[in-house]
């Protein structure tokens, strides 16, 4: 999931439907999106390590997920 996708989901969920949103609502949503994405990324990485027979393959896959490849 991209940050934009998470922000859009927040909008769809009504998080941005305040009568007068705070000035920093965009910053808050971006921070929230980063937190959700990091948690999702960690979960994916833990699944990769649990399922791969080779730590080398697991590490390369995790590097790709984290954008380090």
- Domain extents in the chain: 45-69
pTM of the model: 0.62
Task: Please tell me the distance from the alpha carbon of residue 14 to that of residue 57, in angstroms, as a whole number.
Answer: 41
pLDDT of residue 44: 92
Distance separating alpha carbons of residues 6 and 28, to the nearest angstrom: 12
Residues of the chain with pLDDT under 50: none
Dist. CA 40–CA 62, nearest whole Å? 12
């Amino acid at each position: 999931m991209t940050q934009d996708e998470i922000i859009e989901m927040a909008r769809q969920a009504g998080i941005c439907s305040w009568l007068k949103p705070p000035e920093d609502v965009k910053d808050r949503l971006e921070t929230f999106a980063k937190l959700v994405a990091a948690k999702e990324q960690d979960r994916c990485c833990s699944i990769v390590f649990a399922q791969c027979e080779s730590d080398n393959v697991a590490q390369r896959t995790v590097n790709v997920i984290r954008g380090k490849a």
